[in-house]
Amino acid sequence: MIRGLYSSAWSMLANNKKMDVITNNIANASTTGYKKYTVVLESFPALMTKRLSYNKVSDTSGNTIGTMEHSSDVGEVFTYFNQGQLIQTNNKLDMAIKDSPTTFFAIGVLEPNGDIREMYTRDGSFKINANGMLVTSEGYPVLGENGFIMLESDDFMVESDGTIVQNGDRVARLLLRTFSDTLVLRKTGSGLFETEGEFELVDFNGSIVQGSLEQSNVNIVREMVDMISVMRVYEANQKAIQTQDSTLEKTVNEIGLVR
């Protein structure tokens, strides 16, 4: 009975985490370039169950009955990197990566020690700051293959391979990173990703679309269905705990009463 309480409680905690992830997805459904999270549940390691002192009182080794598991827990929070829908904005500063879901714009983030750290984003809603530098909506410099990208105005063209042409001259080329495995990427906030551990880069085989933005890959209907499912599972475990608690109370107060 006590094991049943633990199982239901752990299940409630896991589903509570899943609800947080779903809520975050819904809140970012309109965020440019957002990639949805999903919770991967896993069962606790199976424990061998034995019957102690089965034949002999002195036999403490027991006989194997079978295995026992304590419900499930959150194994990992996985990110889906499939491409979101592209919408046309007709703003020359807006850019989207098409047909290459593992490719990202390289962004320069200033470290406290003054170094520039390379990070990555799918949000192509760029701007030109007061110094003529191409930056993200958060103000981080967009990196080119030769460093920061400096532009005279927002009157420029971007070719499909990321080359930027202004006044008939090729002034820069976007630094695009295509990862062979997106498991090395971790979200850091503000639509940015950073790498963890070693990674491998491959050639970019998609295209850059100027005047368009990539929407989030969140399906609102699916998220709402998942939310209802999680709520039902949570409520079922809640009722199971109440039932087990009531039975345990009766066992202690009535069955165990010495008359």
Read off the pLDDT of residues 223-236 as tens digits, 9 standing for 90 and up. 999 999 999 988 88
Provide the 3-class DSSP secondary structure of residue 228: helix
Instruction: Give the pLDDT band of residue 259 (cuts 50, 70, 90).
Output: low
H runs (alpha helix) in 114-203: none
Q: pLDDT tens, 74-86?
A: 778 889 999 999 9
Residue 167: partners with Cβ closer than 8 Å, 6 or more residues away: 152
pLDDT tops 60 at residue 50? no
pLDDT tops 90 at residue 44? no
Radius of gyration for the alpha carbons in the chain, expressed in angstroms and rounded: 27
Q: pLDDT tens, 91-103?
A: 999 999 999 999 9
More confident residue, 69 or 90: 90
| pLDDT value for 12 | 83
Q: pLDDT tens, 185-220?
A: 999 988 999 999 899 999 999 999 999 999 999 999
> Residue 234 corresponds to which tokens in the numbers above?
């949570």
Q: Say how far apart CA 16 and CA 231 lie, in whole Å.
A: 9
| pLDDT value for 240 | 79
Instruction: Give the pLDDT band of residue 114 (cuts 50, 70, 90).
Output: confident
Q: Provide the CB-side half-sphere exposure for 13 (13 A, CA).
A: 13
> Residue 94 corresponds to which tokens in the numbers above?
């807006």
| pLDDT value for 244 | 73
Instruction: Give the pLDDT band of residue 150 (cuts 50, 70, 90).
Output: very high
